[in-house]
Amino acid sequence: MDTQDLNAFVEVAETGSFSAAAERLHLTQPAISKRVASLENRLKRPLFDRVGRRITLTEAGIALLPYARRVLHELEDGRRAVSRLSVEISGRLSIGTSHHIGLHRLPPVLKHYTQHYPEVDLDIHFMDSEDACDAVLAGKLELGIVTLPLAPLPKLEQRLVWPDPLAVVVSPEHELSRLKTVDLTMLAAHPAVLPDAATYTHRIITSALQRHGVAPRVRLATNYLETLKMLVAIGLGWSVLPRSMLDDSIRAIDVAGFELQRELGIVWHQRRTQSAPARALIEELLGTAT
C-alpha cells in the first residue's frame, strides 16, 4: 500500500472531512479523494460511507484504521532512527506550538537553530497547547512547545523552558485600576474575559480561584491571548495574562493573596525515537531555559 494513500485515509477518518484532511496535509480536496479512492480500489472495499456532507467509516475502514496508524508511526520512527545516524543534522522536524509562544518566545530560538542547522526542514503547526500535546501522543508531531499540562500526561515527557508569571490586568480606565489593592471578592464582582475553558491556562486560573471559593463572571472567552489583551484594553473586563505582555494599553493590579504562574516548555513521546533535528532543538531550548 502507498503510504501517502494511508496518510490521506487516516486524516479523513480522524477529521471526518475530506476538506479538513486536505488542509492538514497541504493538498487539494480532489488529491485527497484520489488517494482514498486508490486505497479503496486496492482493497476492493469502500472505506467511507458518504451521505450528503457526512463522512463515516465503513466496517472495512474501522478495521483498517488502527493498522494504518501503526504503519505510519513505524515508518516515522524508522525515519527518525536513520536521521540519528547522520553526522549532519538534516531532514524534516514537525513541531506544534501556540500562537503566543510562537510570537513571544520562539523567534530568537528558531533564528539561532536555523542558522546552525540550515538543512533541517521545519514543519511548524500553530495550535492550542492541548491539541499539540494530543498530536505528539498520536505521533503526528515530534515535539510540542507548549503551555505544560498541570499534571503530567501518560507517555508524554515534558521539560520546563520558561516560567511564565501571570498578572491580573484591567484597562487603565477600569475602576479597579485606581485601587492600591483588590481582594478576590471585589474582582469577581466585575465581568472577566478569560482564556477558553478547554485551555491549560484557563484551568490554572479557575483552579486558583476555586481554592479561594471564587467563581469569575466570564463575559467572553477565546484561545488567543493577544485578543484577550485587546478586549481588556477597550474595557470589556479583567483578565489574566502573562506579565511579558504588559504595556501602556493595560494595567496589572495587585490582588491580595492571588499569585499565578504557568510553565512553558517542551513535550515529546516517551516511546518514540527522537530524530537528530529534534534532539538538537531540545538542546537549544534547554540551553535558553530561564
pLDDT tens across 140-179, in order? 899 999 999 888 889 999 999 999 999 999 999 999 999 9
* Structure confidence at residue 206 (pLDDT): 87
Distance CA 53, CA 132 (A): 27
Do residue 206 and residue 241 come from a single domain? yes
Q: Over the chain, what is the mean pLDDT?
A: 90
For residue 280, give the nearest of 89, 86, 87, 57 by alpha carbon: 89
Confidence class of residue 212 from pLDDT cuts 50, 70 and 90? Answer: confident
- End position of a domain, from candidates 43, 67, 82: 82
Distance CA 208, CA 222 (A): 19
Q: Name the residue with cell 513505524.
A: 74
Do residue 143 and residue 278 come from a single domain? yes
pLDDT surpassing 90 at residue 81: no
Of the two residues 221 and 85, the one the predictor is more confident about is: 221
Give the total number of structural domains in the chain.
3
Do residue 8 and residue 131 come from a single domain? no
Do residue 157 and residue 170 come from a single domain? no
* Structure confidence at residue 209 (pLDDT): 87
- End position of a domain, from candidates 82, 103, 132: 82
Distance CA 66, CA 194 (A): 38
Confidence class of residue 208 from pLDDT cuts 50, 70 and 90? Answer: confident
- End position of a domain, from candidates 56, 82, 108: 82
pLDDT surpassing 80 at residue 87: no
Confidence class of residue 114 from pLDDT cuts 50, 70 and 90? Answer: very high
pLDDT surpassing 60 at residue 104: yes
- Would you tell me how many other CB atoms lie within 10 Å of the CB of residue 247? 8
Where are the strands (E) in the chain, listed by range?
48-51, 54-57, 91-97, 120-126, 143-147, 156-170, 191-195, 217-222, 239-242, 251-252, 260-269
Do residue 33 and residue 110 come from a single domain? no
Do residue 176 and residue 207 come from a single domain? yes
Do residue 145 and residue 220 come from a single domain? no
Of the two residues 189 and 81, the one the predictor is more confident about is: 189
How confident is the model over 48-70, as a mean pLDDT? 88
* Structure confidence at residue 135 (pLDDT): 93
* Structure confidence at residue 180 (pLDDT): 87
Cβ atoms of residues 241 and 229 within 8 Å: yes
Do residue 202 and residue 227 come from a single domain? yes
Do residue 132 and residue 175 come from a single domain? no
Confidence class of residue 84 from pLDDT cuts 50, 70 and 90? Answer: low
Do residue 77 and residue 213 come from a single domain? no
Confidence class of residue 91 from pLDDT cuts 50, 70 and 90? Answer: confident
Q: 225-261, pLDDT tens digit by residue?
A: 999 999 999 999 999 999 999 999 999 999 988 888 9
Kindly report the CATH number assigned to the domain that includes residue 158: 3.40.190.10
Domain range enclosing 118: 89-162+264-287
